[in-house]
Structure 1
Amino acid sequence: MADSIRTIPGTPLSPAVPVIVVDGESDGTETPQKRKGSQRLLRRLQRISSSPTLTRIGRPRSSSSPYGSPGAFSCVSLATSPSPFAHTNSSTSYFSHTPTGDYSTAPSSVATTPCLESPGQDDIECDLAARKIDQPVVTVTTSSLPSEVKKKSKVFNLWTSMPLELKIHVLSLLSPKELVRTSRVSKKFHELCFDGQLWTSFDASHFYKDIPAESLARILETAGPFVKDLNLRGCVQVEHYKQADGFVRACRNLVNATLEGCRNFERTTLHTLLKSNKQLVNLNLTGLPAVNNATCKIISRGCQQLEVFNVSGCKQMDAQGIKFVVEGCHQLRDLRAASIRGLHNRDVAEAIFKTNNLHRLVLAGCTDLTDDAFQLMIHGPNPEFDIVTGRPLTTPRKLRHLDLTRCSRLSDTSIKSLAYMVPELEGLHLSGLTRLTDEALEPILASTPFLTHLELEDLAELTNSLFSTHLAKAPCAPHLEHLSISSCENVGDAGMLPVLRVCTNLKSIFMDNTRISDLTLAEAAAMVRKRSLQRPRQSQLPVVALSMVIYDTHNVTWTGIREVLSRNAEMIKPSPAKSVADGVFSFPAEIISMKCFHTWQMTVDEHTKRVLRGDIGSACRFEKLWAEYMQAAQEAGIDGANLRRRRRRAREAQQLLAGEDPAAAPSGRRRSLTTACVVM
């Protein structure tokens, strides 16, 4: 690029101006003209006036470039005219067309920009030397953008330039419902939203009410080959859709399948799904009328890798189907067959004994299960017994969870067979076995050191001796987390106080409809307070560490409820040797939640809510007002002197409690506020 210095002739009052043209040529003509003597004199005076030491007079004129395209051509004006344009601060050239076709120039440099003279049209101009000024010459040059850059879009599209892996990762953060909506944006988004990596898990249990059957079937048909975890729990709209076979045939790689709640699922469709997915590991068919013994036979032949099988509530099958699955699926670990008929069959019991791979066995509601069949499941056919101990010489079972709830035909004879045969047992559910006594449970508690969940609901024959003597001294006592003795009418404080002192890891306890009293509640509160001080603090706010159910317990009064509420909001005083920074807190870290008599439940819930949010002062005031109200109400119910005054105190306490929280105030008859009527 060559720069050239050219002189553009001016008007008589504005002599020729030398211009440096960069990357372009001037359109004006360069016709040299002979100047007169007066013009030469004016020219010299103008040169003298360009000195920065002279004060310039006049108001600067604004300038702007009329050319919109940047970089076409640019020039730097070096005019020394005393015109007002010399005062402008703009750095761009200003051109204006004259009627005669010539060009007039205006300076674009700052006021102190020096003037460079080119060899002129006459001898005088050529002999003049250029004046030297200390400040350097400021030249502004611009050039046009390359054509390749101009062709590109000015807006950078981040999504288009993003790798496919990142796009899939971004879309994986969306829910299935949001993915379907996003797929309508364009064809490219449709391809991305139905990529197999996004549909390896399809759980419709959260949005099945908001999506029509046609859309649900279409999604499964598109993403079916990639789905590994399918959950259609509660999707009743799929049952009546005519093209249900379409998405069933598309799902060929299922590993976990849950069809619970699809009550009208056709049997042929179900069998097609099972035959085309031989790698199933978890299968849940709870309550499906389409399931029968033929379905279980298909599963036993095709699904050799099955580990979890749930057919609870399938009324069209019996225990023979259970036998097919147990004998065919050798990796079965979890069998749930609640409310299945025919479990008194000895062949089925012997098949369950031979497998010895089950970790969970749920037979709740199987009323056909007898003592002989259950003993055969545990001891096997014709077992040998030790002469000294009287225990069977049989390989112990691997059961960890056993649920025999409402198996009403079982008695102490069969339940006692679990003793020393299930050393890894963690959960035992025996609720509803009304024929059980302490004799059946004593050896079980002594031989299950890992027991954490024990449900003994509706066992009216149990006594306090089982809990105080055996459970409190059992090896599982420190590990016990859940205990249910609901409707055990013979169990009271004598049996539960030792349990609460030893079982310090309890998280939930159900004691409704028993004979416990306020002493049990006070012991539970002391146990939770003691262990909260021993455990490290996890959060700044209290958490519920023990849930108690104590409704319908006639020996529990409001005094025991108040004791628990008071312990929940009791402030902890730091010792002199420790400070708050050492881990001493002003309120307990763990509290107790209760489900009690319905009249007190609203007060208990409100108090617990305030403690959980850390408002200990408000909880203490609320508990005090409730105690005053209950005490006044109790005094008002006593016949004798000052009965009217006691009732007035009860009403005042009730008003105070209502002012603290109207929702938690006890309900009762309101006094009429109307005035007396005077009859003339």
Structure 2
Amino acid sequence: MAQVDDGLAAISGAPTPNGDEHATTPPELPIKGKGRRRLLRGLQRISSSPSLNNLRRSRSVGSPYNNRSTLSCVSLAAAGPPQTPPGARSSTPQPSPLGLPSAPPSIPPTPADEFPFHDSIGAVRRVEHGASTSYPATAPLPGDLRSSKLDGQTRGRSASKAIQPKPKFPFWEKMPHEICVHIFSYLKPKELIQSSRVSKSFYKFCHDGQLWTSFDASEFYQEIPAESLARIIVAAGPFIKDLNLRGCVQVEHYKRTEVIVKACKNLINATLEGCRNFQKNTLHSLLKSNEKLVHLNLTGLAAVSNTSCKIIAESCPQLETFNVSWCEKVEARGIKAIIDSCIKLRDLRAGEVCGFDNVAAAESIFKTNNLERLVLCGCVELTDEALKVMMHGIDPEIDILTDRPVVPPRKLRHLDLSRCNRLSSAGVKAIGHVTPDLEGLQLSGCKALTDAALEPILASTPRLTHLELEDLEDITNSLLSEHLAKAPCAATLEHLSLSYCENVGDVGMLPVMQKCVRLRTVDMDNTRVSDLVLAEAASMVTKRSQRSVNADIRPQVTLQLVVYDCQNVTWTGIREVLFRNAQIRPAAGQPSRVTYPTEIIGLKCFYGFQMTVDEHQKRLLRGDLSSASRLERKWADYMQASEEADVGGAGYRRRRRRAREAQALHLNEEDGGIVGRRRARTMGACSVM
């Protein structure tokens, strides 16, 4: 190999290993220029091929240098210094200066000086023979991009100064107090209590009296601690105008009640219902310190007595509403002091208060003539004489022609005399012709009343909307058909209760259903009404309702019927109501268009039918009329099959009679103006049997 190298060197004119640069080519060898260069180029390509074995593309394409010209191994070899003599080569593979894999040991590696590094400007940097041959795997960072440690510290300080965050804006400190309070007013009481723990400023806002002018603890008293409740009342006491502590057991402790009483001085509305442990002295202090009271509710308080009523009469001249129902220590003479002193009193509720047989208290009620609501339910000592004095006064002047007392009309709008067992028809009759503005009358439980007691009342109350006659055993069908159906209040009546009036049946209720077209609730449980009344009620609702041509409009329950425990009500009447509720009828004058119901009837009936009725109503309210109709048909088929399976006996004959009556009513519907009746009814089979 040494001889070959020497020969190559001699051919190419390169210096010999001995360092003689002036050696010349022997004269016996001819000089051929082109052939020599081709041979040198081929040998150089062969010698450098192992180090470029793994390259996938040309170095001119993947060159990391900034020179656009193509740089090949041959050009590097041609431009570089003379090759290293064979003796100086090492048999150990040397690392490639460009990070390329080294050649195998069997093939001599390419000399390191064949691939000189390029600097940052693209010039070729030659490597001397004495220099080290270990090069880094990557090119170094240019000098202009390098920075010293001092420069880095300076640059870091300037950057930290540039991105330093601005101080936070003190929103709650800079915002006006009124705006902050308005923001907190959108929070619920429980949320205000939770927010007060955030900071001292939040605590101040949450306990601001402007947020608690109306303090209704009945809605949230179970969600906040007792101490927080008392603390709020103390902080906002001068601002509180409406105080409702109904059922609030947290304030039953005497210490908390004393704190509340000392704080609240400007109450207008006060409700202390259910605060059973209110002490007498505490209650009296509250009444004395609030002279602006307009509405006062002391229902069920054991601390209320006649003395309390006297204090109210002296300290609360602006009182308009007063409720002392179920206060065992209060008597009619205590209420008399309030009626005489509080001339603005309009609403008096004294349920189950004793002593109303006192004629003096009744005379005070007559003289004031400002009461619009008088509730005396459960006052078992109320007598006919006291009631007459309330309505007519003592020794009124009697009209000779009408035989009626000549007295100013009463301003009563609501009168509740329920469970006053000592009242009779003679006393209740006095209500008639002196209460023209009466809208609600409750006489439930006065079992001694007859038709004579109600006839003058119905004839002289054109604005009557609520009438409760529950458990009046002596009421007959004549009162309903001849007086109520023909009374001036028939067009305005909305609520009628006849529960446990066992003498009332179809004869009395059918005219009522025909004339009282604005009824919303009718209680007829434990009466003698039958399926005919249900059918008439369904017809009445159909006539008064405005049907819609829009299928998306969902119907509303506008009439609630209570007919459980009625022996004459069967599944036939229940089905009639269900059918009318889901009936789709053709439009008047336009057979091609159909109308949908907007009003339906709600039923409370026999518990065996109630599940079907509830499911049917649920489907109607969500607008699924076809599904409701399908349920009604399947239920009717089931009920008919059940009856056919249990034939024979008096019950079967009774069911047949009711079915015939219902069928007769259905056949006469066209005379009442109802068209489009479905003929394919399962009841048609009853006429053949």
Assess same fold via TM > 0.5: yes
Question: Among residues 229, 248, 254, which one is paired with 2:267 in the alignment?
Answer: 254
- The 1-side partners of 2:196 and 2:498 are apart by 54
Question: Which amino acid in 1 is paired with 2:314?
Answer: R
Please identify, of 322-331 and 525-534, the stretch whose mean Cα deviation from structure 2 is larger: 525-534
- Structure 2 counterpart SS, 1:243: helix
Conserved? CA contact 2:494–2:518, under 8 Å: yes
- Structure 2 counterpart SS, 1:202: strand
- The 2-side partners of 1:536 and 1:195 are apart by 55
Aligned ranges for residues 191-590 of structure 1 at < 5 Å?
Answer: 191-240=204-253, 242-533=255-546, 540-575=553-588, 577=590, 585=595, 587-590=596-599
Equivalent position of 2:647 in the other structure:
638
CA offset digits 1:96-118 (Å, max 9, x no partner): 3478999xxxxxxxxxxxxxxxx
Question: Among residues 96, 106, 115, which one is paired with 2:145 in the alignment?
Answer: 96
Question: Which amino acid in 1 is paired with 2:484?
Answer: L
Question: Among residues 621, 631, 643, which one is paired with 1:622 in the alignment?
Answer: 631
- The 2-side partners of 1:161 and 1:506 are apart by 60
Question: Which amino acid in 2 is paired with 1:467?
Answer: L
Conserved? CA contact 2:257–2:278, under 8 Å: no
- The 2-side partners of 1:537 and 1:165 are apart by 50
- Structure 2 counterpart SS, 1:372: helix
Equivalent position of 2:77 in the other structure:
none
Please identify, of 219-228 and 488-497, the stretch whose mean Cα deviation from structure 2 is larger: 219-228
Distance 1:101 1:168, change over 3 A: closer
Please identify, of 391-400 and 531-540, the stretch whose mean Cα deviation from structure 2 is larger: 531-540
Offset at residue 192 of structure 1 (A): 1.1
- The 2-side partners of 1:503 and 1:559 are apart by 24
- Structure 1 counterpart SS, 2:344: coil
- The 2-side partners of 1:287 and 1:218 are apart by 26
- Structure 2 counterpart SS, 1:283: strand
- The 1-side partners of 2:188 and 2:577 are apart by 44
Distance 1:512 1:161, change over 3 A: same
- The 2-side partners of 1:270 and 1:622 are apart by 60
- The 2-side partners of 1:152 and 1:577 are apart by 75
Aligned ranges for residues 79-94 of structure 1 at < 5 Å?
Answer: none
- The 2-side partners of 1:300 and 1:285 are apart by 15
Offset at residue 638 of structure 1 (A): 1.4
Offset at residue 394 of structure 1 (A): 0.6
- Structure 1 counterpart SS, 2:374: strand
Aligned ranges for residues 124-139 of structure 1 at < 5 Å?
Answer: none
Equivalent position of 1:133 in the other structure:
none
- Structure 2 counterpart SS, 1:638: coil
Offset at residue 372 of structure 1 (A): 0.6
Question: Among residues 614, 618, 621, which one is paired with 1:612 in the alignment?
Answer: 621
Distance 1:571 1:159, change over 3 A: farther
- The 1-side partners of 2:146 and 2:551 are apart by 82
CA offset digits 1:259-290 (Å, max 9, x no partner): 11111211111111111111011101011110
Question: Which amino acid in 2 is paired with 1:339?
Answer: E
Offset at residue 542 of structure 1 (A): 1.1
Pairing 1:596–2:605 present = yes
Distance 1:149 1:539, change over 3 A: farther
Structure whose alpha-carbon radius of gyration is higher: 2
- Structure 2 counterpart SS, 1:592: strand
Please identify, of 366-375 and 219-228, the stretch whose mean Cα deviation from structure 2 is larger: 219-228
CA RMSD of aligned residues (A): 3.0
Question: Which amino acid in 2 is paired with 1:356?
Answer: N
- The 1-side partners of 2:149 and 2:539 are apart by 109
Name the % identity.
Answer: 60
Conserved? CA contact 2:266–2:292, under 8 Å: yes
- The 1-side partners of 2:149 and 2:209 are apart by 75
Conserved? CA contact 2:525–2:563, under 8 Å: yes
TM-score by length of 1: 0.71
CA offset digits 1:442-474 (Å, max 9, x no partner): 111111010000001111111111111111111
Question: Which amino acid in 2 is paired with 1:432?
Answer: G
Equivalent position of 1:42 in the other structure:
none
Conserved? CA contact 1:214–1:241, under 8 Å: no
- The 2-side partners of 1:435 and 1:529 are apart by 38
Question: Which amino acid in 2 is paired with 1:505?
Answer: R
Offset at residue 531 of structure 1 (A): 1.3
CA offset digits 1:394-445 (Å, max 9, x no partner): 1111000000001111111111111110000000001111111111111111
- The 2-side partners of 1:241 and 1:291 are apart by 16
Equivalent position of 1:140 in the other structure:
none
Conserved? CA contact 2:210–2:236, under 8 Å: no
Distance 1:158 1:613, change over 3 A: farther
- Structure 1: give runs of 5+ residues left out of the alignment: 1-54, 59-80, 85-93, 103-143, 644-680
Aligned ranges for residues 20-59 of structure 1 at < 5 Å?
Answer: 57=68
Conserved? CA contact 2:298–2:304, under 8 Å: yes
Number of equivalenced pairs: 511
Offset at residue 232 of structure 1 (A): 0.8
Offset at residue 56 of structure 1 (A): 10
- The 1-side partners of 2:551 and 2:363 are apart by 49
Distance 1:624 1:99, change over 3 A: closer
- The 2-side partners of 1:233 and 1:449 are apart by 37
CA offset digits 1:112-169 (Å, max 9, x no partner): xxxxxxxxxxxxxxxxxxxxxxxxxxxxxxxx99x9997843x667666654444333
- The 1-side partners of 2:174 and 2:585 are apart by 60
- Structure 1 counterpart SS, 2:301: coil
- Structure 2: give runs of 5+ residues left out of the alignment: 1-65, 70-119, 124-142, 152-157, 653-689
- The 2-side partners of 1:322 and 1:445 are apart by 30
Offset at residue 208 of structure 1 (A): 2.2
Pairing 1:190–2:203 present = yes
Conserved? CA contact 2:586–2:592, under 8 Å: no
- The 1-side partners of 2:609 and 2:462 are apart by 38
Conserved? CA contact 1:537–1:589, under 8 Å: no
- The 2-side partners of 1:101 and 1:369 are apart by 105
- The 2-side partners of 1:335 and 1:524 are apart by 37
- Structure 1 counterpart SS, 2:545: helix
CA offset digits 1:578-614 (Å, max 9, x no partner): 998xxx74x3111111111111111111111111111
Distance 1:302 1:181, change over 3 A: same
Offset at residue 488 of structure 1 (A): 0.8
- The 1-side partners of 2:513 and 2:147 are apart by 107
